[in-house]
């Protein structure tokens, strides 16, 4: 039986957790990214394939397509396919069974309920029954990963999830606009006050001690205030290279919605 095609908009860490789960469950997965992804948790993001040609996360490999004509061969080879397609032109050309908007822009950048027979949005910016058929809650707490078939996800608070009492304190942000340069690598243990990155001539020091869980790719241009890194105060290096609990929870919600809506639309049936 031909595998159902799911197109995921975005290939950051949450999108990659979703892609990994769907691939393992037998879906063909195509991820659409920009030409210069600015993801932070690069070690667990399939977006890295845009720069490296391929990326493996927990045993699942994604391969970059040179163009839309390469997509079919990559999927046939049992790989996740990543395509640099910021305008999402592949949606029209490939007509997938399902679309998942995992850009995590906190707003809808153009996804429509008519993009595919099944449409799913992650987090704020989407309304089930409006611009998508289902919304997955992405805010940490009791409802994380919950599937909504009516209504919207909780609004963005602007405050990251708490880890050992730290929220905004564990984030690294660009003090000015300019070219970014990492001074430490993902997985490195850092201490409070230690230089970890720079934007132009401005050095960014670790606000807390812990392990550098994510950091932007060196050479990218950034704007003042944008997120460029993440320190995990738990200090467990292994957490930097595995899918997060949040991504796994959200992925479970996406899988539930796909099965429920797909069966309702008679796209696939259970045995």
* Segment 187-236, tens digit of pLDDT: 999 999 999 999 999 999 999 999 999 999 999 999 999 999 999 999 99
Distance from C-alpha of 190 to C-alpha of 186, rounded to nearest angstrom: 10
Q: In this structure, what token pair is assigned to residue 64?
A: 């970059």
Structural domains in the chain plus CATH codes = 5-156+245-264 (3.40.50), 168-233 (2.40.50.100)
With the CA atoms of 39, 40, 45 and 48 taken in that order, what torsion angle do they form, in degrees rounded to the nearest 10?
60
pTM of the model: 0.94
Measured between its terminal Cα atoms, the distance across the chain in Å is 13
3-class DSSP string for 82-123 = EEECCCCCHHHHHCCCEEEECCCCCCCCCCCCCCCCEEEEEC
* Segment 66-94, tens digit of pLDDT: 999 999 999 999 999 999 999 999 999 99
* Cα separations in angstroms, 138 against 59, 121, 152, 206: 25, 10, 11, 27
């Amino acid at each position: 039986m031909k595998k159902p095609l799911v197109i995921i908009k975005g290939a950051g860490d949450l999108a990659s957790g979703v892609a990994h789960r769907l691939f393992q469950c037998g879906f063909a997965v195509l991820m659409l990214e920009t030409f210069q992804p600015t993801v932070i948790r690069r070690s667990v993001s399939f977006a890295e394939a845009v720069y490296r040609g391929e990326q493996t996360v927990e045993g699942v490999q994604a391969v970059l397509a040179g163009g839309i004509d390469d997509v079919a061969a990559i999927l046939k080879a049992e790989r996740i396919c990543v395509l640099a397609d910021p305008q999402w032109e592949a949606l029209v050309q490939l007509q997938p069974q399902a679309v998942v908007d995992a850009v995590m822009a906190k707003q809808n950048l153009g996804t429509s309920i008519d993009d595919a027979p099944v449409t799913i949005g992650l987090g704020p910016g989407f309304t089930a029954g409006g611009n998508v058929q289902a919304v997955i809650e992405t805010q940490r707490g009791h409802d994380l990963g919950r599937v909504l078939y009516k209504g919207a996800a909780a609004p963005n608070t602007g405050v990251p999830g708490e880890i050992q009492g730290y929220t905004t304190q564990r984030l690294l942000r660009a003090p000015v606009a300019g070219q970014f340069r990492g001074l430490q690598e993902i997985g490195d243990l850092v201490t409070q006050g230690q230089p970890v990155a720079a934007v132009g001539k401005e050095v960014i020091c670790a606000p807390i001690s812990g392990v550098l869980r994510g950091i932007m790719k060196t050479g990218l241009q950034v704007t003042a205030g944008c997120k460029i890194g993440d320190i995990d105060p738990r200090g467990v290096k292994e957490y930097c290279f595995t899918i997060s609990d949040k991504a796994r929870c959200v992925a479970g919600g996406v899988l539930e919605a796909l099965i429920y809506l797909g069966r309702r639309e008679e796209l696939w049936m259970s045995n």
